[in-house]
Structure 1
Amino acid sequence: MKVLVTGATGLIGSAICARLSKDGHEIVAAVRPGSRPLPMAVGRIAEIDVAKAAGPEAWVPHLKGVDAVVNCVGVFQDNPRDSTRGVHVTGTAALFDACEKQDVRRVVHISAIGINRHQASAFSRTKLEGDKLLMERDLDWVILRPSVVLGRAIFGASALFRGLAALPVLPVMRGTGPLQVVQLDDVSETVAFFLDPGAPARVTLELAGPERLSMGEVVATYRRWLGWPPARVFTLPDWLTALTYRLGDFAGSLGWRPPMRSTARKEIAHGAVGDPSQWTGVTGIPPQSLSAALKARPASVQERWFAKLYFLKPVIFVVLPVFWIATGIVSLSTGFGEGMELMRRAGTGLLAAPGVVAGAIADILVGLAIAWRPAARYGLYGAIALSVFYIVAGTILLPELWNEPLGPLMKIWPILVLHLVALGILEER
């Protein structure tokens, strides 16, 4: 079959592309324009911004020759880059309409567990609305509602669990519900099952793991898998929990996608649990427990690297913007006189004041670019270029700075290395 997979670069979408390709299906991967990296297991790339695909005509060109659609696209929380309503309702409704018009009968739709029981946020409300829109269509639809999805590939909550597992003291938040985590391989296997021509249609299934675990138990399981002793547990005070979510929302407003945002706080209070018996009864797929799945794939040193780097990444992307912005502000205020003196020593004459101001503005712009996710890569390149410029200019105009006790030029080298590290860990998935 030729299968259109939306959200093909995401955690679930990329795994489904690989699974279906292994079965011999031809994959058309629908991705956001400019998405990288792209799945290898695809025959064709269809670039489309789902949130802006307001009518079926946006999808029709991508559905030519397609036999089935697997809709994996999803947005956890609204931010300048993402719209829950645009993706879960407007864009998917247009896709379902186009499937009807093009006679693409089979549609497998990835939703979320528990949204029929509670709608705590825009995420769950719009997800449920999208489910209902599909149910109204004259299509052979299948709606799968997975719990928190975990696998070797990681993003969002699955990455957070590994990062928490690296902490010697585990911060536990009050008011979190139980989880029946489900394995990514089981989700992919289920999608493959429903693409069989003889598979049932017009069914809704909850995909949940076989055991109920607290967040602390999930993290402890990962910590054992990574080969580390049990962590001490520390219960976060409510004010610190609230601050954590607010900081996550602030990062989201800058285009980043941290898992700890207000949507997570609302949704996690209900947990992510369900009854997997119907799923197994229909498909014959027994869900794996977390411990059994982890035992089947021993942890590597790269897994431990990722876990230890997880919380260092946000620290790096806070420190670097603050460093550059603060440097610029100091140069324009309390350090202006010292900057002027350096420029005079360099023999710049009348260019001293404009030079100090230009350097300060450049520093601030670089810091702002690093802080804003869509421009972060360009900001890091700009920071590296600016650092190299300072080294070259300082060496030519004031070579004695290499001999100063505080090493103003020498310290640029570790700063350069930190920017290269930031570039290396910038990608989120």
Structure 2
Amino acid sequence: MTQGRSLQPRRVFVIGATGTIGRATVRALVQAGHEVVCFVRPGSAALAELAGATIRFGQVTDAGSVARDGFRAEPFDALVSCLTSRTGAPGDAWAIDHAAHIVVLDAARAAGVKHMVLLSAICVQKPTLAFQQAKLAFEKVLIESGMDYSIVRATAFFKSLSGQIDRIRQGKSFLMFGDGTATACKPISDDDLAWFLTRCLDEPGRRNRILPIGGPGEAVTPRAQADRLFALLGGKPRFTRVPIALLDTIIVVLATLGRISPSLAGKAELARIGRYYATESMLVLDPVTGRYDAMATPSTGSETLFDFYAQVIAGERSVQRGEHAVF
């Protein structure tokens, strides 16, 4: 996807540039005509995909490194963050989703940055997990900082909903919770989200706002995902229904054992994350009714999840799954 160039090119500092959304966002920023500086960890992969941007190395959790190796006492107009914790475990979440962002925000203010575009997540509307609470805590810091902000709460990504393509190719069943219709989302592609983030720099109506966003089309349930995959692959639909009670039992067991084993405590949190995604829709939550509302969830872009499925199956695209992928 290619969109128009910005009428006001800016100097933009980017963190989280090497993730899948980060790489797409850097591409969009460069195509829009911005001067982009990416601050990445030494040894980071995928640097070739950051063509057109300046790459600087350092530690995002270290205030000295951010100032010395990142901003270098140079002026910047905007800060864009696609940075997120890898696992969502409590220690990781509070270190990255909260503390590291505060470090970079402080350095950005010293560099004269007037606007921050923050990629958050739509699931923070109902914060029961550590990474959601950490993200919300930083959102509050940003809002109260006095800097202009655009907080983009995105719905599900294509990569997180593509983990069962190979299962079905192998003739296996589609795993789902209940009948697969209790939850829904409006999946968004990397490129569509990247251009939404990029356009936040130019559109005054996106400043000082929290912006929930999804992809085009109707909300999609797990059952709808399964039906389309079986149709594309030509197989007979087969389903394995996983009871939520099984996840609850696993969480209790891991949490109990986690009292003596930190590694098992971490696995208990990952199981809680899995349960959350299995039981909560990634749509705008109506604060009055407590129900998720697909109609109230804004859409952007042109690529649908089912377009992506067809391209992956045809060998035209690949799936790069993250830590929060379902199944």
TM class by shorter chain equals: 0.7 to 0.9
**Helix, strand or coil at the partner of 1:301:** coil
* Partner Cα distance (1:144, 1:6) in 2: 15
**Helix, strand or coil at the partner of 2:146:** coil
Relative to structure 1, is the Cα distance of residues 218 and 43 closer, same or farther in structure 2, using a 3 angstrom cutoff? same
* Partner Cα distance (1:111, 1:260) in 2: 19
1:92-121 Cα offsets, whole Å, 9 max, x none, are 0121222222211121000000313x1121
Contact kept? 2:87, 2:270, Cα under 8 Å: no
Q: Does 1:291 find its partner at 2:306?
A: yes
User: 1:168 corresponds to which residue?
Assistant: 172
Alignment of 1:6-405 (within 5 A): 6-38=15-47, 39-50=49-60, 52-53=61-62, 55=63, 57-61=64-68, 62-63=70-71, 64-75=74-85, 77-78=87-88, 83-116=92-125, 118-150=126-158, 154=159, 157-166=160-169, 167-174=171-178, 177-196=183-202, 200-209=206-215, 210-225=217-232, 227-237=233-243, 241=247, 253=263, 261-274=271-284, 279=298, 285=300, 288-291=303-306, 297=311, 299-301=313-315
Greater helix share, 1 or 2?
1
* Partner Cα distance (1:72, 1:276) in 2: 26
**2:15 counterpart letter in structure 1:** T
**Helix, strand or coil at the partner of 1:216:** helix
**Helix, strand or coil at the partner of 1:172:** strand
Contact kept? 1:208, 1:276, Cα under 8 Å: no
TM-score, length of structure 1 as denominator length: 0.58
**2:175 counterpart letter in structure 1:** P
Contact kept? 1:173, 1:241, Cα under 8 Å: no
Relative to structure 1, is the Cα distance of residues 140 and 19 closer, same or farther in structure 2, using a 3 angstrom cutoff? same
Higher relative contact order (CA 8 A, sep 6+): 2
How many residues matched?
287
**1:262 counterpart letter in structure 2:** R
Contact kept? 2:117, 2:200, Cα under 8 Å: yes
* Partner Cα distance (1:287, 1:94) in 2: 36
Relative to structure 1, is the Cα distance of residues 286 and 23 closer, same or farther in structure 2, using a 3 angstrom cutoff? closer
Once the two structures are TM-superposed, the CA of residue 128 in structure 1 deviates from its matched residue by 1.0
**2:13 counterpart letter in structure 1:** L
Contact kept? 1:162, 1:219, Cα under 8 Å: no
1:75-108 Cα offsets, whole Å, 9 max, x none, are 153559x710011111101212222222111210
Q: Which has the larger radius of gyration?
A: 1
**1:40 counterpart letter in structure 2:** L
Once the two structures are TM-superposed, the CA of residue 7 in structure 1 deviates from its matched residue by 1.0
Stretch moving more, 128-137 or 286-295 = 286-295
Cα RMSD of the aligned pairs, angstroms, is 3.6
Structure 2: gaps (5+ residues)? 1-9, 285-293, 322-327
Structure 1: gaps (5+ residues)? 311-429
* Partner Cα distance (1:69, 1:14) in 2: 15
Once the two structures are TM-superposed, the CA of residue 211 in structure 1 deviates from its matched residue by 1.9
TM-score, length of structure 2 as denominator length: 0.73
* Partner Cα distance (1:287, 1:95) in 2: 33
* Partner Cα distance (1:220, 1:46) in 2: 45
